[in-house]
Amino acid sequence: MAGTALPSSRALARDLGLARNTVAETYGQLVAEGWLSARHGSGTWVTQRAGQLPSVGATAGRSAARGPRYDLRPGVPDVSAFPRAAWLAAARKALAAASAAELSYADPRGLPGLRTALAEYLARARGVAVTPDRVIVCAGFSQGMELVCEVLRARGSRELAVEAYGHPQHRGIAARSGLRVVPLPVDDRGADVAVLPGSRPPARQAGSPRLGAVLLTPAHQFPFGVILAPDRRRHVAEWAAATGAVVIEDDYDGEFRYDRQAVGALQPLAPESVVYAGTASKSLAPGLRLGWLVVPADLLDPIVDAKRTAGRLSSSLDQLALAELIRSGGYDRQVRRARLAYRRRRDRLIAALAAAVPDVRVAGIAAGLHALVRLPGGVAERDVVTRAAARGLAVHGLATTQAGEQDLGPALIVGYATPPPYAFSTAVARLCAALREVIGA
């Protein structure tokens, strides 16, 4: 509500288990975008504009546009590329064949047809060691993460190791489940898993509880975009198997690799220790709310039990349509098409930055839907974010993802997937202009 006072960044950071910097940067960004206003000495407030949520008028059916005019924040694909015709064709075919059981209160693990299709797809496209009975359909990665964290906490885990830079929402989910997040340093070979607590303990006794837990993005570290190095993959797999720990593999952007062969999942190195998590939010649309877990045998029942509780079942109609889309090859086609489109965007972004602001270094570009634009030393992320906001462009600073004390310098996380095609060039031009203004190239 407009006028509502927000908690101090210190208090909120404590509540959410985040670094204070992260919260402060997030507030700064929201101020820059006009959602919040800050007055020195009297805290941060929701502005009038933020109170005006999408108008719910009689013209119905279209939500009023909200937020920035141009959007280069990470995390959302170009939803204008959602394959509407293919989706509807799949929905029609699937609905015609759907059984009564599939339209009723359905299996909390997800519909059997979708779990079979996903198992086949994940084995083929991501190298996951999987049978359909290990697949659990969930409402996006967030719900999957929430289910796993709840189960880990109920089994006695107290902490979740996370990458020192990563999605603050995921750390928030862990914190709400009662897990303290412990940051692992990140370098150009991914998370430094050698520092995981108890990395060289005696072998686990059969049946002893899994207490250790770590969340990783092995295919394309968010936000740095590096691959978890092979020796580190082996190390974390062995560590988990030996200590009975659980690895949550967020296969972030796993389908969007541009410059070499796909990097497979970590999961097959230790299928009984790794919870593999994927989502249709990037390949299709976040509004679908469909994701999937592939889980070790001994976590299957507790996760399904958690999923069974109120309000956590996923829409059968969407599950039926997605299963048909995967079976028919339409999902693969959509991923290939999106990969090509995003690769072209990436190339255009790199070329534009090289021409306009040669002082910045672009990293993490071999895969995914975002690039890391490193700023020269002494340049404040916040200045660029503010200048961009003045031009109607939303972009995130690296600090919004920071979990701990490790500080890898100023950078922007440029999500180049979000704008619809007609807005992409202008968004990039405004980014370049904002950067030039601050860096003074």
- Residues 137-156 within binding reach of its own copies (CB under 8 A): 138-140, 142-147
Nearest distance from C-beta of residue 54 to its own copies, angstroms: 5
Amino acid at 155: R
Nearest distance from C-beta of residue 142 to its own copies, angstroms: 4
- DSSP assignment of 150-204 equals HHHHHTT--EEEEESBS-HHHHHHHHHTTPEEEEEPEEBTEE-GGGSTTSSPPPP
In this structure, which long-range contacts are made by residues 396-400, counting pairs with CB atoms below 8 Å and at least 24 apart in sequence? 396/29, 396/73, 396/74, 397/25, 397/29, 398/165, 398/223, 398/372, 399/21, 399/22, 399/24, 399/25, 400/22, 400/25, 400/26, 400/29, 400/168
99 binds its own copies (CB under 8 A): yes
286 binds its own copies (CB under 8 A): yes
Among 39, 41, 42, 60, binds its own copies (CB under 8 A): 60
Determine the Cα–Cα distance for residues 357 and 355; give it in Å rounded to an integer.
Answer: 6
Determine the Cα–Cα distance for residues 227 and 190; give it in Å rounded to an integer.
Answer: 6
207 binds its own copies (CB under 8 A): no
Number of residues forming the site for its own copies (CB under 8 A): 78
CA dihedral (408, 157, 276, 262) positive or negative: positive
Amino acid at 409: G
Specify the stretch interacting with its own copies by CB under 8 A; choose among 78-86, 261-269, 357-365, 391-399. Answer: 78-86
Contact 155, 210 (CB under 8 A): yes
Specify the stretch interacting with its own copies by CB under 8 A; choose among 112-120, 155-163, 210-218, 367-375. Answer: 112-120
The residue among 365 and 417 lying less far from its own copies, judged by its C-beta, is: 417
Specify the stretch interacting with its own copies by CB under 8 A; choose among 27-35, 153-161, 261-269, 282-290. Answer: 282-290
The residue among 39 and 62 lying less far from its own copies, judged by its C-beta, is: 62
**Contact string 306-325 vs its own copies (x = CB under 8 A):** ---xxxxxxxxxx-x--xx-
Determine the Cα–Cα distance for residues 410 and 32; give it in Å rounded to an integer.
Answer: 17
5 binds its own copies (CB under 8 A): no
The residue among 293 and 353 lying less far from its own copies, judged by its C-beta, is: 293
Specify the stretch interacting with its own copies by CB under 8 A; choose among 209-217, 240-248, 267-275, 288-296. Answer: 288-296
Determine the Cα–Cα distance for residues 209 and 264; give it in Å rounded to an integer.
Answer: 29
Nearest distance from C-beta of residue 235 to its own copies, angstroms: 30
- DSSP assignment of 251-304 equals -TTTT-B-SSSPPPPSGGG-TTTEEEEEESTTTT-GGG--EEEE--HHHHHHHH
Among 3, 7, 51, 57, binds its own copies (CB under 8 A): 57
Nearest distance from C-beta of residue 315 to its own copies, angstroms: 4
102 binds its own copies (CB under 8 A): yes
Q: Which 396-435 positions form the footprint of its own copies (CB under 8 A)?
A: 420
Among 11, 53, 340, 390, binds its own copies (CB under 8 A): 53
Of 425, 426, 410, nearest to 373 (Cα)? 410
Q: What is the CA radius of gyration of the chain?
A: 22
The residue among 148 and 274 lying less far from its own copies, judged by its C-beta, is: 148
The residue among 145 and 161 lying less far from its own copies, judged by its C-beta, is: 145
17 binds its own copies (CB under 8 A): no
Q: Which 328-367 positions form the footprint of its own copies (CB under 8 A)?
A: none
Among 111, 125, 184, 394, binds its own copies (CB under 8 A): 111
Determine the Cα–Cα distance for residues 233 and 239; give it in Å rounded to an integer.
Answer: 10
